[in-house]
Structure 1
Amino acid sequence: MPHRDDSLRPATPRLPAAARGRPPLGDFTLSPRVLLITGLAVAVGGAATLTALALLRLIALITNLVFYQRADTDMVAPGLHHHSVLLVLGAPIAGGLIVGLMARYGSEKIRGHGMPEAIEAILVGGSRVQPRVAVLKPVSAAVSIGTGGPFGAEGPIIMTGGAVGSILAQGLRLSADERKTLLVAGAAAGMAATFNSPLAAILLAVELLLFEWRPRSLVPVTAAVCVAAIARGPLLGTSALFPVHTGDVHLAAGTQALCLVSGATGGLLAVAATWLVYRAEDGFARLPVHWMWWPAIGGAIIGLGGLVEPRALGVGYDVIRQLLTGRATLSLIAGILVVKTLIWSLSLGSGTSGGVLAPVFMIGGALGALEGHVLPSVFPGFWAMMGLAAVVGGVMRSPLTGVVFTLELTHAWSVLLPLVIAATSAYAVSALLLKRSVLTEKIARRGLHLTREYSTDPLETFFARDVMDDGAVVLDAAGAVDAARLGDQSLFPVTDGGRLAGVATRRALGDGRTPGDVMTADPVVVRDDDTLRHVASVFAAHGVTRAPVVDHADPERVLGVIALRDLLKARLFDLTEEHHRERHLGPRSRRFAHSR
């Protein structure tokens, strides 16, 4: 069990006095403030696009300087021609050492691949990102990748774009949820600008970062992503990053069934890679040296792998393009599949700076390309696409994102169904064999709990009238109190002429005075058609555990009393629906019908 660091837990906020004096918004998720946040998100989207472009150019510059000894900002990969052994070994070590120094003396938040750090900022940091992280994270990632690190730029872009949104939000008077929206808007916009994949960026935001699907956040995030996608055009172009020509493809049922095989193997590879990442992290934690030196040790692993397969170094967009167009040789496919998986998994565990998506694209593409040598031929790159979507779905536990990413990267829209089969089957294998994903495992190791499973809240499907005590004792303000009638009830609505006047507690009634003398006027009430979620919000906002339930049409007419424990009835119903099994059709039901 991971040690729980309670210092990561945010203190329970005290609701402002103004908010405590009125009911919370409850179920209302869209308000005029969404227009304000959307306007800010548009600005964040533009800034994140420029940030993503700057990071890509910085990675290219460092790669050119280190491996080709020239000052150029065009994207290029290591290994395009022969490099000296000293350079292949020494560059990643030097890059890891620089990253370790930046993390120790700059900010430890730059360690890792970016997404868990963004998630942690949202979960426990009030969506606040330090301004220096916005500078140190992209620089450290550019150094790591530019010196041969087998990572992607998307994780650092997510963290950096998120930092842009968070910093803007911190300069304004906004709530934590509004800061979260702008943080995610910046992160998703950076993703869209990098890969020209607006829909995948939105899905990534929903599946990984927002932890909700509500208009108040989806509208601003989508606005930021659209701005980024539009702004990318004149800066980086609008064509697919890895175009695949499918021709007039017609898939037989047998071929589509084989996508299950591709998905299952992709899920197994995702499980193995995730397991390697965290076994490596455990191994580094046992080393008798300060964590500052770990990225340099990880750099040595990268260098050794680069001697075996130089094309495994760097971001590797050119290799992904070869895999997805069927132009990769068998030796390159095998080298990438083995070497890239090992050096990415092991070096990522060292805590260096770099993303996971591009390496996962390459590893998944290599797996699919290898399978394409034994599976039926469809068109060049078909099975590489299946492998890419499968490994993304398994590693990230985001099958929809995996499908849409693959489609937007390749523009091969006609293979939607086989991609769904591959990504979903990989997701099923990963969820079956591994408790947490590569993202949520790191969160769990920091003493936090994060669920990636979303369902309808049972508190949303029940109303106060469904669970209230409609037989509760109601007292008359001027009447005498009969102790025998009170039972075990602890809060009593008090009426005057049949109309609600206040509430009285059992303790207050004990001194012999009338209910009207001891009652609290203007009590907190809930309506009979309020959802239990709204009731829970009212209780939290006002610090109460019980309240009278009144008629929506006649707010002074008492219908009953609802207590905090009544809210558990909805949860109990949900548990019954999940675990209670019974047969409604079958031999026994037919015999019953015949007997009647």
Structure 2
Amino acid sequence: MRHLGDFTATPRMLWIAVLAVPIGAAGAGAAWCLLRLIGLITNAVFYQRVSTELIAPGRHAWWLVLFAPVVGGLVIGAMARYGSEKIRGHGMPEAIEAILLGGSKVQPRVAVLKPVSSAVAIGTGGPFGAEGPIIMTGGALGSLLAQFLHLTADERKALLVAGSAAGMAATFNSPLAALLLAAELLLFEWLPRSLVPVASAVAVATVIRHHILGPGPVFPVTSALHLHDVDYLLAAVSGVIAALLAIVATVLVYASEDAFHRLRLHWMWWPAIGGLVIGVGGLFVPQALGVGYDVIGAELDGSISLGLVVGILVVKTLIWSLSLGSGTSGGVLAPMFMIGGALGAVEAHIFPSVGPGFWALVALAGVLGGVMRSPITGVVFALELTHRWDALLPIMIASMTAYGVSTVLLRRSVLTEKIARRGYHLSREYDVDPLEIVFVSEVMTTKIVEFSPDLRISQALAVLNDPTDDYAGWRQQLYPVVKQGTLIGVVTRGALLARTESPTGIINDELHAEPVVTHADQPLRQVAETMAVNDVSTLPVVDRRDDTKVVGVVSLPQLLDARRRDQQEARQRERVLSIKLVRPTGSARGAAAVAEDTEEPAPRG
């Protein structure tokens, strides 16, 4: 007899974790190369010099600011058309699509073309981030290694996400946020088989990052905070405003995408049009161009002026949203940092003073929670970017508030909307599987019909056709075959019905001697997985101490009992406790009221 096993954690998990170590190192190296390449292109285009220093585009001649993004868009369009269309977009939806629909397989050319196209987009003034491309690039590196090995799709997924999270951790020195982002956005599960390898890659990438880019926070903030009770309430207000801004930005992205799809031009030319939008915005606010780490730093230390921050808030939101819809290559996190920080910097002129950059940090976390629908990642990201640990509570309030408001008002996030528009459903909600918390003993049938191996098939068919039988054998789909109290196999209802025309012979002729069995103390999730793996819909339940003793049968319809219970808990409303008014006992009515409260019969008269 075969027993079901544990499908979530196996010794192979350790082997996948070992494979994730070099992937983590490769992800860190890819992040470093991408940042250096962005710096190289930015310096070459805007400063006409050879340098890999990461620098803002700055103020230049109008024609350079206007047309550099257009040229960058032309290059990206050509790379996408003649190289790989997979480089279009901001990285994370593409990684999600590869995981869910492509068996976690990424083309080798994507590992090269994606970072190069993103460096061109950002280096020529694009208002994008490096994190989305590095997520796709790191994921491509993990996927390529996995494709050379004899691995399952789930194991390839773990290595793909390990590469993505490693690149993320190395870019922002944010190991915990990278791990949470992997769980919330890419893995679609919270299991040891995937989290342990991803954590291995993230740890390695972060250690390497400390040596090549430094160990400190990307945006260090050291000033003291002076929090009061009202500031926590205002953090919730900031979260609501951040959610509304996130909704506007998301709607703009997909309104822009819809507008581009209505053009009669080939999509190869769309990034150039998006580049023109960027150039026009850059003429008004040059600081909105590029990754903008210097602007984010100024927002978080409180040194940015009100006029500039309003310009950033308006122009950055517009050029990022409209140009991203053109299908160019670039990430969403750094722009969200800048836009959220700008919103908070404006709020700092209205809300009470708490400390330099405090409201910018709170709004930044709120925008992340609203745009990406990953509130925990948003909180941890904000903390790891600044090491502002004393702002944990207001940051959490803002992020969760924005997440809640965004969820109510907007059906999908900027990430999942793109997947949905390609015709696929993507769930971003995690819940405990009701099959995990209900055991076989709670739903199995114990009053069952068993056959002996020498029983005539004609007699067995009589049981199948007798709806008056107390044991309801006519409803059973699987019958244990028992000899002297010992299970020797099973026979199916279908096999017996097939013998209706020739009911000669005995049960032993149709015996299946290697049945898959389960135990009464197993959760239904493992039963469901066993049924799926073995292509069966009914299992004998045997005693844990004696595998030859049958104690019941569990079938596929009974698995719905757990689902039915879960739906009942979610939908059925009831009042558990109530308050009863006790009146003076000088009257029959009062006496009845007291008696009702004490659950005793009311006295008469």
Change (3 A) 1:508 1:190: closer
2:26, 2:141 within 8 Å by CA — same for their partners in 1? yes
Q: Deviations over 1:98-135 (max 9, x none)?
A: 10111011001000000000011111111111110000
Q: Equivalences for 1:423-462 in 2 at 5 Å?
A: 423-462=399-438
Residue 147 of structure 1 is matched in structure 2 by 124
Amino acid at match of 2:258: D
2:507 matched to which residue of 1? Answer: 515
Structure 1 distance, partners of 2:401, 2:105, is 36
Within 1, Cα distance between the matches of 2:44 and 2:425?
43
Shift of 1:180: 0.8
Contact 2:104 2:160 (8 Å CA) reproduced? yes
How is 1:576-591 mapped onto 2 (pairs within 5 angstroms)?
576-587=568-579
Amino acid in the other structure paired with 1:103? A
Q: Which residue of 1 aligns with 2:587?
A: none
Q: 1:594 aligns with which of 598, 601, 604?
A: 598
2:343 is the counterpart of 1:367:
yes
CA distance, structure 2, for counterparts of residue 253 and residue 179 of structure 1: 48
CA–CA distance in 1 between the matches of 2:383 and 2:267?
39
Q: Which one of 558, 569, 577 corresponds to residue 566 of structure 1?
A: 558
Deviations 1:462-514 (CA, angstroms, capped at 9, x unpaired): 11221112112112222352433432323211111111122122343331433
* Corresponding residue number in structure 2 for 1:6: none
Q: Secondary structure at the match of 1:375?
A: coil
* Alignment partner of 1:160 is 2:137: yes
For residue 33 of structure 1, report the CA deviation from its aligned partner: 1.7
Task: Provide the residue aligned with 1:72 in structure 2.
Answer: 51
Structure 2 counterpart of 1:501: 488
Q: Which residue of 2 aligns with 1:44?
A: 23
CA shift, 1:588, in A, is 6.2
Q: Of 70, 73, 80, which aligns to 1:93?
A: 70
Query: Aligned-pair distance for 1:23?
Result: 5.0
Larger mean Cα displacement after TM superposition, 467-476 or 567-576: 467-476
Once superposed, what is the RMSD of the aligned Cα atoms?
Answer: 1.5
TM-score, normalised via structure 1 length: 0.94
SS at match of 2:291: coil
Match of 2:360 in 1: 384
- TM-aligned CA deviation for residue 32 of structure 1: 2.2
1:343-381 CA distance string (max 9 Å, x none):
000100111000000000000000000010010001110
Counterpart in 2 of 1:421? 397
- Structure 1, unmatched stretches of 5+, are 1-20
SS in 1 for 2:149: coil
Contact (CA 8 Å) 2:57, 2:125: kept in 1 or not?
yes
Q: How does 1:149-548 map to 2 (within 5 A)?
A: 149-247=126-224, 249-480=225-456, 481=459, 482-483=462-463, 484=466, 485=469, 486-509=473-496, 510=500, 511-548=503-540
Query: Which stretch shifts more, 555-564 or 503-512?
Result: 503-512
Letter in 1 for 2:486: R
Tell me how far apart the structure 2 counterparts of residues 255 and 523 of structure 1 sit (CA, whole Å): 64
Paired with 1:63 and 1:432, the residues of 2 have a C-alpha distance of 40
SS in 1 for 2:392: helix
> Using a 3 Å threshold, how does the CA distance of structure 1 residues 173 and 22 change in structure 2: closer, same or farther?
farther
More off after superposition, 202-211 vs 110-119: 202-211
Deviations 1:8-66 (A, max 9, x none): xxxxxxxxxxxxx9655335x33322222111111111111111000000000000011
Q: What is the rounded CA distance, in whole Å, between the counterparts of 1:152 and 1:507 in structure 2? A: 60
Whether the 8 Å CA contact 1:26–1:533 is kept in 2: the answer is no
The farther-off stretch of 114-123 and 82-91 is 82-91
Distance, in Å, in 2 between the alignment partners of 1:479 and 1:233 is 74
- SS of match in other structure, 1:374: coil
- Cα distance in 1 for partners of 2:484, 2:434 equals 37
Matched letter for residue 61 of structure 2: S
- C-alpha displacement of 1:387: 0.8
Q: Distance in 2 between matches of 1:153 and 1:424?
A: 25
Alpha-carbon spacing, 1:307–1:457, altered in 2? closer, same or farther (3 Å): same
Measure the CA separation in 1 of the matches of 2:244 and 2:96: 25
SS state at 1:224 partner: helix
One-letter amino acid of the structure 1 residue matched with residue 452 of structure 2: D
Structure 1 position 517, deviation (Å): 2.8
Shift of 1:86: 1.0
Note the C-alpha offset of 1:564: 1.0
Q: Could you say if the C-alpha distance between residues 295 and 23 of structure 1 is closer, same or farther in structure 2, counting changes exceeding 3 Å? A: farther
- Please state if 1:59 is matched with 2:38: yes
Amino acid aligned to 1:513: G
User: 2:560 and 2:3 mapped to 1: Cα distance?
Assistant: 21
Q: Distance in 2 between matches of 1:588 and 1:62?
A: 76
Say which SS state the counterpart of residue 598 (structure 2) adopts: helix
Q: CA deviation at 1:448?
A: 1.2
Q: Structure 1, residues 205-259: CA drift from partner, whole Å, max 9, x if none?
A: 1111111111121111111111111111221111111111232x34111111110
Q: Which moved more, 1:586-595 or 1:541-550?
A: 586-595
Shift of 1:408: 0.9
Q: Which residue of 1 aligns with 2:61?
A: 84
- Kindly provide the CA deviation profile for residues 315-338 of structure 1, in whole angstroms up to 9, marking residues without a partner as x: 000000000010111111001000
Q: 1:25 aligned to 2:5?
A: yes
Secondary structure at the aligned position of 2:575 is classed as: coil
Deviations 1:553-596 (CA, angstroms, capped at 9, x unpaired):
21111122211111111100000010001011013699755233
Verify the 8 A CA contact 2:2 2:515 in the aligned structure 1: no
| 8 Å Cα contact 2:3-2:517 kept in structure 1 | no
- What SS is found at the alignment partner of 1:347? helix
3-state SS in 2 of match to 1:520 = coil
Q: Name the CA shift for 1:427/1:477 in 2 (closer, same or farther; >3 Å).
A: same
Which is further off, 466-475 or 194-203?
466-475
Q: Determine what percentage of the aligned residue pairs are the same residue.
A: 61
Residues 46, 231 of structure 1: 8 Å contact kept:
yes
Q: 1:565 to 1:588 in 2, by over 3 A?
A: farther
Distance 1:548 1:396, change over 3 A: same
5+ residue gaps in structure 2? 583-592, 601-605
Q: What is the rounded CA distance, in whole Å, between the counterparts of 1:376 and 1:507 in structure 2?
A: 75
Cα distance in 2 for residues equivalent to 1:587 and 1:35: 57
Matched-pair contact (CA < 8 Å) for 1:246–1:412: no
